[in-house]
Amino acid sequence: MSHLAGELGYPIQAIHVPKTVDNDLPITDCCPGFGSVAKYVAVSIREAGFDVASMAKTSTKVFIMEVMGRHAGWIAAAGGLAAEKEGDAPHIILFPELALDEPKFLARVKECVEKYGYCAVVRFRRRQECDGKFLADAGLRDAFGHAQLGGVGPVIAQLVKDKLGYKYHWAVADYTAACGATYRVASRCRTSVCSRQNDRGTCVAGP
């Protein structure tokens, strides 16, 4: 935009704000878009944890949520924001910056199931093998030449089933997380509800 305006001699000042929900741009503390996806993932894994805990004795014992994140684990890390005490979901967060140690991961899953009755896992969509290929690489490329990833959730879930025998559920927080507006909507609601104050400065409900 800035270059085009210069070529046309149009007096416009273009100010560019970098954004990506992955929050992985250098020299950027918090990218626009990350706040809403962070809340979406945190609330989703916490609520899924409640559901799995309610049926763990007779049914599902492991829940795996696949989230976005190719090389940076900010979104995966955000899954832990809603946990209030030991034992709250998620019990395990797997980061793209660290290679998956399968024996250690499986041992931790078993430990959580035995201690808490169930295990909730947040897993980024990328898993890179020793040959440099992504486990969930669909063979497609986006406009930037990046591998189109997805589907690592069921792979990890099946690993748990094969090695530990636990029944599982898995879900993908993908497009719905990226376009989620829960953070912005909540902010607007608070502004609306607290738009009037009484004589002591306390917010009271009102239009």
Tokens of 110: 């078993």
Secondary element (H or E) of residue 160: helix 152-164
Q: Report how far residue 171's alpha carbon sits from residue 187's, in angstroms, rounded to the nearest whole number.
A: 27
Residues known to be catalytic: 22
For residue 90, is the peptide bond before it cis, meaning its omega torsion is within 30 degrees of 0? yes
Specify the pLDDT at position 181.
Answer: 62
From 55, 164, 31, 45, select the one nearest 105 (Cα to Cα): 164
Tokens of 88: 């709250």
The pTM of the whole model exceeds 0.85:
no
Tokens of 54: 């309610």
Specify the pLDDT at position 127.
Answer: 53
Specify the pLDDT at position 106.
Answer: 97
Question: pLDDT tens string for the chain (207 positions)?
Answer: 888 888 899 988 888 777 788 888 887 788 888 888 999 999 999 999 999 999 999 999 999 999 987 778 999 999 999 899 999 999 999 998 888 899 999 999 999 999 999 999 999 876 544 444 555 544 545 555 555 445 788 889 999 999 999 999 999 987 777 776 654 444 433 333 333 334 433 333 333
Specify the pLDDT at position 140.
Answer: 43
Q: What are phi and psi of 108, to 5 degrees?
A: -70, -40
Specify the pLDDT at position 145.
Answer: 58
Specify the pLDDT at position 146.
Answer: 54
